[in-house]
Amino acid sequence: MIVKIGDPIQLNLQLEDGATDKYPQAILRNQIGTILAGSPVDLTHTGDGLYQNDSISMPNTQEVTATYKVYEDAPHTVLSQFYTIELDVFGKDNAAELVANLKQLAGDITGELEDTGGITAYFDDDGWITGEISDNGALEGFIEEFDLTGILVDSGDLTGVVADC
């Protein structure tokens, strides 16, 4: 799941047998294994064996893992032998960063327009642009590092599609 920085990380653990008398807990770690502040957290039964918690916010880290363990007792001393340890992975939503980077790149683009009024440009990882003049009056670009295709329209805004990021 992708989560924006500062938004709650929605922890969900569904016990297949629907048990309502267990005490699941989640330990949250960043991508280098450091346990997050406020972790571990207890999950609360919300119905039909579903336990949830959303008390931890997404930090500014690329990835957060949640390791779920189910205990037989409230003090979390007796690990249940009936449930496996589960894992969820939450990724940081990089959309805002990507947009900021694209705006910076778009602001650095210069070129000469001929009668056709458009440039097709390709941005490589080093920031170089190669391209050709087109007749559609728009700047169409491909940024290899982000697999983004987009169009710089007359208003100066970059629009596009992000694929396989």
Over the stretch 130-150, which tens digit does the pLDDT of each residue have? Answer: 555 455 544 444 444 444 444
For 1-58, what is each residue's pLDDT tens digit?
899 999 999 999 999 999 999 999 999 999 999 999 999 999 999 999 999 999 999 9
Span 64-102, pLDDT tens digits: 999 999 999 999 999 999 999 999 999 998 887 777 777
Strands laid side by side in the 23-30 sheet: 2-3, 86-92, 63-71, 23-30, 41-42
Domain chopping of the chain, boundaries: 2-92, 95-162
Q: Which of 94-108, 124-138, 147-161 has the lowest mean pLDDT?
A: 147-161
Task: Specify the 3-state DSSP secondary structure of 134.
Answer: strand
Amino acid at 76: H
Look at domain 2-92 and name its CATH class: mainly beta
